[in-house]
């Protein structure tokens, strides 16, 4: 806050009255401040002190017998000071950035059924260990060739004679080639390596079905088994 001194000299015409000096202090407000808030910028307004500040000197009493002088002119008005105070408040709003969000969609493939009931038959062709992989639909499957140590015969497969055709092999070198399946009939379970196509279910070596059915492959011909895919290591790959 700053203070100013305003001298006011009154020249009085009355006899013997000395001139008086009156000091008036006017307080000047600080300049307008800038306020930061969350509302949009707004000018609040202007405040004006419109009432005049009037200073009137008091005159000493006199015993003069002379009549009080009269003035032919208009009465002198007391000096006045008008102070105008202007206050401007600026409110600045800084909008917070809208939060960004990222939605990531994840597609999870439905898991294959853990087990399924399928029909199983036998074919003696898979019992011949000398037969070549070239006669089956999975002849070009690298994992089978590797498993035979390059010999490429049925008998060289680690799981022989638990081999045969499977419903998951749909064509030549199908992705189902070289998969391993657990087949359960009653209380017996064997693992069978898919090396060929099967029209439905499984078509495996007679020796494998005999093991599964207790030697009744020929008698039963075809049976329903519970099948589930297992790790290829279960078939020696």
At residue 212 the predicted structure's pLDDT band, cuts being 50, 70 and 90, is: very high
| Residue 215, both tokens | 């030697």
Spatial contact of 162 and 188, defined as CB atoms under 8 Å apart: no
How far apart (Å, rounded) are the C-alpha atoms in residues 96 and 94?
Answer: 6
How far apart (Å, rounded) are the C-alpha atoms in residues 232 and 120?
Answer: 20
At residue 10 the predicted structure's pLDDT band, cuts being 50, 70 and 90, is: very low
Counted domains in the chain? 1
Spatial contact of 22 and 54, defined as CB atoms under 8 Å apart: no
| Mean pLDDT, residues 186-214 | 97
Q: Which position has the higher pLDDT, 21 or 84? A: 84
How far apart (Å, rounded) are the C-alpha atoms in residues 9 and 235?
Answer: 121
pTM score above 0.85: no
92 is a domain residue: no
User: Can you give the residue range of the structural domain that contains 200?
Assistant: 116-235
pLDDT of the residue at 222: 96
Q: Which position has the higher pLDDT, 154 or 74? A: 154
77 is a domain residue: no
Spatial contact of 230 and 180, defined as CB atoms under 8 Å apart: yes
215 is a domain residue: yes
Beta bridge partner(s), residue 21: 9
Tell me what percent of the residues of the chain surpass a pLDDT of 90: 51
CB count in 10 Å sphere of residue 17? 14
90 is a domain residue: no
pLDDT of the residue at 215: 97
CATH number at residue 164: 2.40.40.10
59 is a domain residue: no
């Amino acid at each position: 806050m700053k203070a100013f001194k305003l001298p006011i000299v009154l020249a009085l015409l009355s006899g013997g009255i000395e001139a008086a000096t009156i000091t008036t202090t006017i307080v000047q407000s600080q300049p307008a401040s800038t306020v930061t808030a969350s509302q949009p910028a707004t000018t609040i307004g202007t405040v004006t002190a419109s009432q005049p500040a009037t200073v009137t000197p008091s005159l000493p009493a006199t015993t003069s017998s002379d009549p009080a002088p009269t003035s032919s002119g208009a009465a002198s008005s007391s000096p006045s000071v008008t102070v105008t105070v202007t206050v401007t408040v600026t409110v600045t709003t800084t909008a917070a950035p809208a939060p960004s969000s990222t939605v990531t969609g994840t597609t999870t493939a439905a898991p294959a059924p853990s087990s399924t009931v399928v029909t199983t038959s036998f074919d003696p062709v898979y019992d011949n260990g000398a037969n070549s992989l070239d006669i089956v639909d999975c002849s070009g499957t690298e994992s089978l060739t590797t498993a035979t140590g390059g010999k490429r015969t049925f008998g060289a497969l680690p799981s022989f004679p638990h081999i045969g055709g499977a419903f998951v092999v749909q064509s030549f070198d199908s992705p189902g080639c070289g998969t391993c399946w657990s087949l359960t009939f009653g209380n017996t379970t064997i693992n069978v390596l898919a090396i060929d196509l099967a029209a439905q279910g499984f078509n495996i070596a007679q020796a494998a079905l005999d093991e599964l059915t207790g030697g009744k492959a020929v008698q039963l011909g075809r049976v329903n088994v519970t099948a589930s895919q297992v790790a290829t290591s279960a078939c020696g790959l």
